[in-house]
């Protein structure tokens, strides 16, 4: 299938920071294990007695050294497999990161994980120049996937309400346009999107069985445009005019933030994640929202309190706004927010789950800024931490977290959270 890059301008190239080689548990297939075992690393003294792989839950992963780095990561932060045998000799997971390939009917959408510092900083060549590599990865997935697994129907809008792939793309394009609107504060862009989503959740698209009345193709684009305009009239102009989220909403939100902030493995693993007792204490603290924020990620400051998460960062700089907009537009345009890439969430729920990452990142940025980071550095770090979990932390796909998201959306707290944590005063 063809690989399509995104309309949003996003750049990336590896800058040899070695972050991903210290952060992730990299899965390796039997073929990849055989290939690496035949590379002769055991002849080097530093590999004496060092297993290349560890087995967890029936799966093999690259082993890590005591400093948290992959056993093949050199002191120069470069991959030794890549250096000696070339990129193709590495496990596929290493080669493909931070790209994401999302099947979208008859093509792939090329997405990107902004958990990678170079992706968050927009450093490197445009993604449009990297389609050659992406096609190679896509060909591999096509050759290993079960027949029909990649060309299935699109994710439902909700329940059993399914529209063609082209209409899902129209919805994504309309949402991306709202998120790109530089004339609006970023939080208000999301409130407008949530207004459109809430309205369309009540709509039927099939015209009651009459194809002439079906809301599809151009008619859908028109409806999305009209609703976007109506959102501008309906949503209060400033975040300060929006009601504060209720106690219950903030309690549920903090528990979701705990999941979005955490790192469970690698060099950035939080100390609060070490052992069941610490994890329990950490969960209780996030539920109560009192005292010092548990260090669920190594990047969190030692003594920042939950109170710091309620103090505004002030107006966001153009740099931070452009990062937030690029981040979310990449997720929307690639369709990473729904379907298989996001735990099977339907389209509307997927957009709500993505909306939640905005207040989550802003809360986190406030806590990071309380530890001494500049607001821009805090926002960039927060985006990387939240994106690391979005669509990948299995806890976010659990029935409990999906229920929590539904509660926030249905009570109207999601919009209030967007405004509350997006306010500048
Ligand atoms: S094999 Fe190479 S690219 Fe993959 S994690 Fe190890 S050092 Fe990094």
Q: Is there a single domain that holds both residue 101 and residue 166? A: no
Confidence bin at 201 (pLDDT 50/70/90): very high
Mutate to test the pocket of ligand 1, among 65, 90, 95, 97 (most ligand atoms within 8 A of CB): 90
pLDDT confidence of residue 356: 98
Atom of ligand 1 nearest to the CA of 90: 1
Residue 51 has pLDDT above 90, yes or no: yes
Ligand 1 centroid, distance to 257 Cα (angstroms):
29
pLDDT confidence of residue 266: 84
Ligand 1 centroid, distance to 81 Cα (angstroms):
7
Paired with 161 in beta bridges are: 158
Spatial distance between the Cα atoms of 293 and 306, rounded to a whole number of angstroms? 6
Ligand 1 centroid, distance to 133 Cα (angstroms):
18
For the chain, give the mean pLDDT: 93
pLDDT confidence of residue 264: 87
Q: Is there a single domain that holds both residue 285 and residue 378? A: yes
Confidence bin at 149 (pLDDT 50/70/90): confident
Confidence bin at 326 (pLDDT 50/70/90): very high
Spatial distance between the Cα atoms of 369 and 313, rounded to a whole number of angstroms? 8
The last residue of a domain, from among 127, 144, 161: 144
Ligand 1 centroid, distance to 91 Cα (angstroms):
8
Q: What is the pLDDT of residues 222-257, one digit of tens each?
A: 999 999 999 999 999 999 999 999 999 999 999 999
The last residue of a domain, from among 109, 144, 179: 144
Q: Could you tell me if the CB of 71 is within 6 A of ligand 1?
A: no
- Number of folded domains in the chain? 2
pLDDT confidence of residue 206: 80
Ligand 1 centroid, distance to 93 Cα (angstroms):
9
pLDDT confidence of residue 213: 80
Q: Is there a single domain that holds both residue 173 and residue 305? A: yes
| Contact of 298 with 268, CB cutoff 8 Å | yes
Atom of ligand 1 nearest to the CA of 94: 4
Q: Which domain holds residue 177?
A: 153-425
pLDDT confidence of residue 64: 94
Q: Could you tell me if the CB of 81 is within 6 A of ligand 1?
A: yes
The last residue of a domain, from among 98, 126, 144: 144
Q: Is there a single domain that holds both residue 226 and residue 108? A: no
Tell whether the torsion through CA atoms of 179, 183, 186 and 188 is positive or negative.
negative
Q: Is there a single domain that holds both residue 189 and residue 132? A: no
pLDDT confidence of residue 207: 76
Residue 208 has pLDDT above 90, yes or no: no
């Amino acid at each position: 299938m063809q690989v399509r890059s995104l309309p949003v301008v996003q750049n990336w190239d590896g800058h040899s920071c070695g972050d991903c080689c210290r952060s992730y548990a990299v899965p390796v297939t039997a073929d990849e294990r055989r290939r690496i075992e035949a590379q002769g690393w055991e002849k080097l003294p530093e590999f004496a007695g060092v297993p290349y792989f560890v087995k967890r839950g029936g799966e093999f992963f690259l082993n890590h050294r005591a400093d948290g780095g992959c056993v093949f990561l050199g002191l120069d932060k470069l991959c030794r497999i890549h250096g000696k045998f070339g990129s193709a000799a590495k496990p596929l997971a290493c080669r493909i990161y931070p790209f994401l390939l999302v099947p979208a009917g008859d093509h792939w959408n090329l997405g990107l994980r902004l958990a990678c510092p170079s992706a968050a900083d927009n450093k490197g060549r445009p993604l449009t120049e990297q389609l050659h590599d992406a096609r190679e990865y896509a060909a591999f997935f096509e050759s290993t996937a079960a027949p029909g697994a990649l060309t299935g129907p699109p994710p439902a809008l909700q329940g059993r309400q399914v529209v063609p792939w082209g209409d899902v793309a129209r919805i994504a394009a309309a949402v991306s346009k709202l998120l790109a609107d530089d004339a609006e504060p970023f939080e208000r862009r999301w409130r407008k999107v949530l207004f459109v989503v809430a309205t369309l959740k009540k709509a039927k698209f099939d015209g009651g069985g009459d194809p002439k009345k079906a809301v599809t193709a151009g008619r859908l684009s028109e409806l999305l445009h009209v609703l976007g305009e109506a959102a501008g009239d309906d949503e209060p102009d400033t975040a300060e005019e929006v009601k504060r989220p209720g106690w219950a909403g903030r309690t549920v939100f903090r528990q979701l933030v705990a999941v979005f902030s955490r790192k469970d493995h690698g060099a950035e693993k939080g100390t609060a994640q070490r052992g069941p007792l610490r994890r329990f204490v950490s969960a209780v603290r996030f539920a109560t929202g009192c005292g010092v924020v548990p260090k669920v990620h190594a990047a969190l400051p030692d003594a920042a309190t939950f109170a710091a998460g309620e103090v505004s960062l002030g107006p966001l700089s153009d740099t931070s706004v452009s990062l937030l907009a690029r981040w979310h537009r990449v997720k929307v345009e690639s369709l990473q927010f729904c379907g298989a890439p996001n735990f099977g969430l339907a389209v509307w729920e997927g957009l709500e789950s993505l909306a939640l990452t905005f207040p989550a990142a802003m809360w986190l940025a406030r806590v990071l800024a309380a530890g001494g980071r500049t607001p821009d550095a805090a926002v960039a770090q927060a985006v990387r931490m939240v994106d690391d979990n979005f669509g990948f932390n299995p806890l976010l796909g659990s029935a409990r977290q999906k229920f929590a998201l539904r509660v926030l959306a249905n009570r109207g707290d999601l919009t209030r959270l967007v405004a509350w944590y997006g306010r500048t005063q």
